[in-house]
Structure 1
Amino acid sequence: MRPADLNPLFAAASALRGIGPKTGALLDRLLGRKGQPARVIDLLLHLPHATIDRRARPKIRDAARDAVVVIEGRVTAHHPPGNTRGRAPYKVLIEDDTGDVTLVFFLNNFAWVEKALPIGTTRWVSGKLESWDGHLQMVHPDRVMDEEGLKALPAVEPIYGLTDGLYPRILTKAVEAAVGRMPDLPEWLEPNRAILLGWPSFADALLAVHYPTSPSVLDPQSQPMQRLAYDELLASQFALATVRGRMRDNNGRPTIGTGVASDRILAALPFRLTAGQEEALAEIRADMAGPKRMLRLLQGDVGSGKTIVALLAMATAIEAGHQTALMVPTEILARQHFERLTTLGAHAGITVALLTGRDKASERAKTLEGLANGAIALVIGTHALFQDSVVFQDLGLIVVDEQHRFGVAQRLALTEKGRSADMLLMTATPIPRTLVMTVFGDMDASAVREKPAGRQSIETRAAPIERLSEVVAAMQRSIEEGARVYWVCPLVTESEEVDLVAAEERFETLCQVFGDKVRLVHGQMKPAERDAAVADFASGEARILVATTVIEVGIDVPEASIMVIEHAERFGLAQLHQLRGRVGRGQARSSCLLLYKAPLGETPGARIMTMRETEDGFRIAEEDLRLRGEGELIGTRQSGLPSFRVANLDHHAKLLTEARQDAADLYATDPTLKTPRGEAMRRLLYLFERDAAVRLIEAG
């Protein structure tokens, strides 16, 4: 259970004093999530991204131009526009003993100006001072204050991210109310750490950032920001240490194969393993042979041959008398793995089964029986694998493909099917080292870098969307020569419905040119229809497959040699690389065409340039991390981990390393968080929503 003193922080933000229903709805839009309104903790961790420095209080003569200043002046004249219906501004002159400034207001509420700036009074105004036609002016001052208002003005004003309709002063008041809810928290850092580094407490760090005394407080390397970033990284790393410890400490067992099934599979392959595949397989088998449960990440670029490595690892488990499971995110991918592995498994006498959400009741019952009595050695499936009805006789190895599409809880649910089962996570999105530490903690990782023999290089070109007719004409020539083409439609919004419209429109225009040689695939189709469209493309009956990003993983047609990605500027680098990897799998010379809408912005332009320069997924991953940040690169939201709200790996990579070691030490000495520091640590896990780790601890 969440400690009672934290409950006020998890109350709805709309319940705060001074927050009415209208503001509450705006806060929900800004900070809420699906099914969850904005909470007090969301306001506390919604840190300002910039400041307005109002410390300068110069005389008019000495005030800096094109900068925000606070000026004291006497109101000496009003110059209202002659025609109140026109767009002319209302001007007010203020002066001190060194000069004067014209205040300019473009608005119809002239009564407010007259009330706020009576002639003969002294007022303080704050805003950007600029020179116009030889005179000093301030257009729409941010603040117009009397002496009492000046006393309340923050010298350094924080600037927050907003949403339409939510004004800065309203959000500032909401943050003030949230700060008032902060309880007195125990210290969870090592006793000497904060003292040695001069860090404030967690609560004081939050106060310093929300009420900055200088703009430098928001620098990522400031003591308050470092403290908050370290706390978030420590919570994340301890949660990962707990998950890893739970998986590995549940009595592992040595799994050593005879090599018989593996040798038969190798003999059936039309190629030899690459050095990278052999090295990764050796690392996996060494883990499996050890006394602890394996938890290893297998990274490999698109088409690097990870699936064969996984199959040989599963063969080792089967040789030792265990069952194996391969979990994948989509039915398309499950069926393609099933077809390929069934053929290879037959050479080794391995019984392979398929389990998805749309199996017929009789098929499903037969599969469940085979898993329960041990007749099925290898099962391939989607989320259906971790349902309660799925029971294994002796599950020894779990392989999770495209692991970032499954949450931590889902992976844990599958491990419960085999209390001593080893786990191998696979990803075709190479992950930079810092991100491996962030998302997986101290997980062992293997990488398959080179492509197997026979994989074609892919020529990548870019062209503006205005040349669409030329592209279609060139495609006609290629199709006449036997080519098959993927045409991926743009990611218009996060709405599948909008994306679907784009795909259907492109499908219709291409049908006008190519007739019945075109098929359409998208996520809203019935699985049988989708499978039929893919089957037509694979057989050659169709030559063009128009698709949304549903083909990013899971469609493998070696004869496809052309990839067209429409509005490539709307896609991330990793996704572009994944899509490109659908071609170059057969003997034909392959190409990828990136169609973009000009002019290109700096970041989309950098993505397209990177795609043209390299096919190295590891280099692309590093560039993607630089361009997009760690939170979006591999979808930490999909992986079951909230993205960072404070920490930024560009600035806090060193803190990540330290937090990982700190978390490992704490887990080694106090895995159940019973010590005073451990009790404090529980609060940190809740504050940064890593409380799944607490539930694991409490579940034993």
Structure 2
Amino acid sequence: MRPSLLDPLFAPVTTLDGVGAKLADLLSNIVPGDGTGRELRVGDLLFVLPHSLVDRRNRPGIANAPEGAIVTLELTVSRHHPSPPGRKSAPYRVFAFDDTGEIALTFFHARAQWLEKVLPEGEKVLVSGRMEWFNGRPSMVHPDFIVPAAEADTLPTLEPVYPLTAGLSAKVLRRAIGQALERLPDLPEWQDPAFLARNRMPGFGAALRRLHAPQEPDDSTPESQFWRRVAYDEFLAGQLSLALVRARVKRLSGRPLTGDGHLEAKIRAALPYALTGSQEEAVRDIHADLGQPERMVRLLQGDVGAGKTVVALLAMARAAEAGAQSALMAPTEILARQHFATIRPLAEAAGLTAAVLTGREKGKERQNTLDAIASGAVDFVIGTHALFQESVSFHDLALAVIDEQHRFGVHQRLAITAKGNAPDMLVMTATPIPRTLVLSAFGDMDVSRLTEKPAGRQPIRTVTLPMERLGELVERIRKALAEGQKAYWICPLVEESEEVPLTSAEDRFAALQKIFGSAVGLVHGRMKAAEKDEAMRAFKAGETRILVGTTVVEVGVDVSDATIIVIEHAERFGLAQLHQLRGRVGRGALASSCVLLYKGPLGQTAIRRLEVMRETEDGFVIAEEDLKLRGEGDLLGTKQSGTPGFRVARIESHTDLLQAARDDARLILSQDSDLETPRGEALRLLLYLFGRDEAVRLLRAG
């Protein structure tokens, strides 16, 4: 049960004064949600932080107030000039003065009664707003604040500016946030006092109040100790919840998988190349994990074509030596079949059996495969997520390998655990992830990185080309095809769109078909799986020589004699995606090239992206650059995958805190695994506050 102390923050936002269903809908547009689609709560408003400040401390007097500046003036009201009768569009002016001159306060469509009440003639008032000068005469149109001089202390000298949405005014939002702050209970401290003192961090409540009511211009910046305090709380909640998942997964104790290496030796002998140094190191790490009685939960990161599949295969061989089965799960059918095509001949060389299981197998064929898996006749099962969702029963599943981890969230990892007797887990990703994001999204895993290209891989020459030189490019491709090469041509859209003036895959396909005839194929995401597979097969077999497509070819498709990839409107793609696409070529013995076609003029970010692509092929360098250019936003597809997008923390500003939070979370759980000490009880409140309720449920489930 959630502690009752938090009830005021977990009440629906509609329990606040003046917040009905309509306003709640508007608020939900700006509140950073937790992705669950639940109704908005009072506590959610606490984490809507200002993105900038308006400084109202400047009091220069009328004559010295510069054009366009936000100023605060102490005025005496002299006279009202209402709009002339019958001319509602004409402004209502109130004239006022100070020691330096006179100003016109200008209002459109104003109610005379209200203006006479807030600006009574002869009274002293404080007004604040943007200064304007017309023909040498000072004016302020619709001042932001008007208060009697006697109530000067109610005027916010530093006014936070929040994100807004159509129909939501700053005043209404500030009022709602103010009410949420009033409901914030006095919470026990969950952070280590020595850590707070060392980093000059205030308490949680004090930090939030200062962020929403800053006293200095720097108070509301991500670098301030107030913002850093709440960011650290968020990181710690995330790291604790990942560490609890990890502890739970490990507690379902695995078993040592040991072998004498004879099957592994046969697979190595069948490989046409030697493993790289980092592949060997990863294999050693994995074998060491498999030999332990605790479960392995390891992330294998490798750049495009770094040879992750072979490392996974050698891990699967170790499971087979221990007399158990392995499963490899890929996110798409194309990728699952490609893994199967790579693995089956190597497995057979070692006397092992591999089977594939996707949505395409039907009827008797499918039943035969299911029976073979259940009886233990199959050593390696390769498939899509259907492997873990349908009525697939394994004889003895000891190792689960998951490809392209960012498509699957933490909780799907737990679901996979239910198959077999708590199988060891190896997770692979070809999206190089900056170290900081590895910590935030995969803090529950050990990490191996493949940092070298396999032997024989050719470097890829990357060039940028403006759309105006399209004709030259087509000629270059004509020559390459005559030499027996193949090319990909990637477009950002499937079909023409009125809203977005970009060339679509279908348009480009039609244009290239006029030049190259039946040598051009087409593949995109709206085609049926069988049509996509057929387009890929024809390209691989050489029946087509140019494959026009969308980013559907991004992940894992392997055609070793494709040597050119053209990415049209490259300025529209993110760095990580450009890098993934480029990795479709350079897979054979021939030199390969990547042509980034762009349409000018380009913005600064687009220019930098294309520069980075020309400068380096190192996916990890590219990922770090992507993080700088974009922030952590969608680098991992976090919206879809259950990896944490942060409400308060900013990876680019708070990296140092993330490492500290990971270390602290591990230390806490090593000393208080069930969070039962006074600090542990306080940390449970933290987990609830940041929407990590699942972690608390894991505690209860033991």
* TM surpasses 0.5: yes
CA contact 2:234–2:690 (8 Å) conserved in 1: yes
| TM-aligned CA distance change 1:28 to 1:256, over 3 Å | same
| Number of the residue aligned with 2:595 | 593
* Structure 2 counterpart of 1:158: 160
Indicate the SS of the match to 1:257: coil
Distance 1:472 1:2 in 2: 64
Letter in structure 2 aligned against 1:234: L
1:302 CA displacement: 0.9
Question: How far apart, CA to CA, are the structure 2 residues paired with 1:463 and 1:87?
Answer: 54
- On the 8 A contact 1:237/1:663 being kept in 2, the answer is yes
Q: Structure 1 residues 379 and 471, CA, compared in 2 at 3 Å: closer, same or farther?
A: same
Q: What are the within-5 Å matches in structure 2 for residues 16-55 of structure 1?
A: 16-31=16-31, 35-55=37-57
- Judge which range, 626-635 or 510-519, deviates more: 510-519
Residue in structure 1 matching 2:207, options 199, 205, 208: 205
User: Which residue does 2:228 correspond to in 1?
Assistant: 226
CA distance in 2, matches of 1:82, 1:641: 61
Letter in 1 for 2:295: R
Q: Distance in 2 between matches of 1:174 and 1:361?
A: 59
Residue aligning to 1:258: 260
Matching of residues 163-312 of structure 1 within 5 Å: 163-194=165-196, 197-312=199-314
Counterpart code for 1:18? G
Task: Please give the secondary structure, in 2, of the residue aligned with 1:603.
Answer: helix
Question: 1:397-428, CA deviations, whole angstroms, 9 ceiling, x for partnerless residues?
Answer: 22111111111111111122233422211111
Partner of 2:375: 373
Matched position secondary structure for 1:353:
strand
CA deviation map 1:337-366 (0-9, x unaligned): 111111211111111111223321333322
Determine the structure 2 residue equivalent to 1:465: 467
C-alpha separation in 1, matches of 2:493 and 2:147: 48
Whole-angstrom CA distance in 1 between matches of 2:400 and 2:662: 26
Q: CA deviation at 1:621?
A: 1.4
Q: Please tell me whether the aligned partners of residues 300 and 447 of structure 2 are also in contact (alpha carbons under 8 angstroms).
A: yes
| 3-state secondary structure, aligned to 2:634 | helix
Q: Which residue of 2 aligns with 1:317?
A: 319
The offset of 1:609, in angstroms, is 0.6
Superposition pairs of residues 656-695 of structure 1, within 5 angstroms: 656-695=658-697
Q: Cα–Cα, structure 1 residues 178 and 469, in superposed 2: closer, same or farther, change >3 Å?
A: farther
More divergent stretch after superposition (564-573 vs 335-344): 564-573
Question: Hey, what does 1:432 align to over in structure 2?
Answer: 434
**Following TM superposition, by how much is the alpha carbon of 1:681 offset from its aligned partner in structure 2, in angstroms?**
1.4
Question: How many residue pairs end up in the alignment?
Answer: 697
Shift of 1:78: 6.8
TM-superposition CA deviations, 1:558-593 (whole Å, max 9, x none):
122221222222221111100110111123332112
Contact preservation (8 Å) 1:491, 1:570: no
User: How far apart are 1:639 and its partner, in Å?
Assistant: 4.1
Task: Please give the alpha-carbon distance, in whole angstroms, between the structure 1 residues aligned to 2:471 and 2:137.
Answer: 56
Question: Which residue of the partner structure matches residue 517 of structure 2?
Answer: 515
Change (3 A) 1:39 1:550: farther
Question: Which of 530, 533, 553 is matched with 2:532 structurally?
Answer: 530
2:523–2:548 CA contact under 8 A, matched in 1? yes
Letter in 2 for 1:47: L
After TM superposition, give the deviation of residue 221 of structure 1 in Å. 3.5
Superposed displacement of residue 64, structure 1: 6.1
* Alignment correspondent of 2:364: 362
> 1:619-676, CA deviations, whole angstroms, 9 ceiling, x for partnerless residues?
1111112112234222334442321111123332222222222211111122222222
Deviation at 1:553, TM superposition (A): 0.5
Of 461-470 and 294-303, deviating more is: 461-470
String of CA shifts for 1:518-568, please: whole Å, max 9, x gaps.
333222321111111111111121222222222210311112222122222
Partner of 2:566: 564
Deviation sequence 1:12-37 (CA, Å, 0-9, x none): 43443201333222123333557434
Q: Contact conserved, 1:439 with 1:636, CA < 8 A, in 2? A: no
Relative to structure 1, is the Cα distance of residues 475 and 85 closer, same or farther in structure 2, using a 3 angstrom cutoff? farther
Please name the residue that 1:542 is paired with. Answer: 544
Distance 1:418 1:599, change over 3 A: same
Q: CA 1:91–1:548 in 2, change beyond 3 Å: closer, same or farther? A: farther
Match of 1:636 in 2: 638
Look up the SS of the partner of 2:656 in the other structure.
Answer: helix
Question: Quick one: distance in 2 between partners of 1:591 and 1:401?
Answer: 27
Contact 2:267 2:346 in 1 (8 A): yes
Measure, in 2, the Cα distance between the counterparts of 1:124 and 1:692: 51
Deviation at 1:313, TM superposition (A): 1.5
More divergent stretch after superposition (594-603 vs 572-581)? 594-603
Q: State the shift of 1:187 in Å.
A: 2.4
Q: Please give the per-residue CA displacement for 1:38-59, whole angstroms capped at 9, x wherever unaligned.
A: 3323221111111112233343
Aligned AA for 2:689?
Answer: L
Secondary structure in 2 aligned to 1:255?
A: coil
Q: 1:244 to 1:73 in 2, by over 3 A?
A: same
Q: Which amino acid aligns with 1:447?
A: R
Determine the C-alpha separation between the residues in 2 that align with 1:278 and 1:249.
28
8 Å contact kept, 1:499–1:548: no
Query: Is the Cα–Cα contact under 8 Å of residues 561 and 591 in structure 1 kept in the other structure?
Result: yes
In 1, the alpha carbon distance for the partners of 2:348 and 2:502 equals 40
1:59 and 2:61 aligned? yes
Residues 54 and 126 of structure 1 are in contact (CA less than 8 Å); yes or no, is this contact kept in structure 2? yes
Cα 1:370–1:213, aligned 2, differ >3 Å: closer, same or farther? Answer: same
What is the rounded CA distance, in whole Å, between the counterparts of 2:493 and 2:685 in structure 1?
Answer: 40
The AA in structure 1 aligned to 2:2 is R
3-state DSSP class of the match of 1:630? coil
Q: TM-score, normalised by structure 2?
A: 0.91
Given that 1:75 and 1:123 are in contact with CA atoms closer than 8 Å, whether structure 2 keeps it comes out as yes
Partners of 2:369 and 2:494 lie apart in 1 by: 40
Give the residue type in structure 2 aligned to 1:458.
Answer: I
Which residues of structure 1 form unaligned runs of 5+?
Answer: none
Deviation readout 1:312-343 (Å, 9 max, x if unpaired): 11112111211111111111100111111112
Alignment partner, residue 126 of structure 1: 128
SS at 1:334 equivalent:
helix
Identify the range of structure 1 (552-561 vs 218-227) with the bigger mean alpha-carbon deviation: 218-227
> Match of 2:290, as an amino acid?
M
The aligned amino acid for 1:25 is D
* 2:102 partner SS: strand
Using the size of structure 1 for normalisation, the TM-score is: 0.91
For residues 268 and 285 of structure 2, the distance between their equivalents in structure 1, rounded to whole angstroms, comes to: 18
User: 48-57 or 195-204: which moved more?
Assistant: 195-204
Contact 1:487 1:566 in 2 (8 A): yes
**CA 1:362 to 1:4, structure 2 compared with 1: closer, same or farther past 3 Å?**
farther
Q: Deviations over 1:116-174 (max 9, x none)?
A: 65665544321233666655444553334444775532222111111222221121122
| CA–CA separation in structure 2 for the residues paired with 1:83 and 1:599 | 52
Q: Are residues 1:395 and 2:397 paired?
A: yes
Q: Indicate if the aligned counterparts of 1:65 and 1:129 stay in contact, CA closer than 8 A.
A: yes
2:621 is paired with a residue whose SS is helix
Report deviation, 1:382: 1.4
2:612 alignment counterpart: 610
Q: Which residue of 2 aligns with 1:479?
A: 481
State the 1:218 CA deviation: 1.2
The amino acid of 1:621's aligned partner reads A
Q: Which amino acid aligns with 1:438?
A: S
How much is the aligned-residue C-alpha RMSD, in angstroms? 3.1
Deviation at 1:692, TM superposition (A): 2.1
The answer on whether the counterparts of 2:92 and 2:110 sit within 8 Å (CA) in structure 1 is no
What is the distance in 1 between the residues matched to 2:517 and 2:333? 28
Q: 1:637 to 1:22 in 2, by over 3 A?
A: closer
One-letter code of the match for 1:603? T
Residue 299 of structure 2 aligns to a residue whose secondary structure is: strand
Deviation at 1:104, TM superposition (A): 5.5
Amino acid aligned to 1:269? L
Q: Tell me the distance in 2 between the aligned counterparts of 1:504 and 1:10.
A: 50
1:595: how far off? 2.1
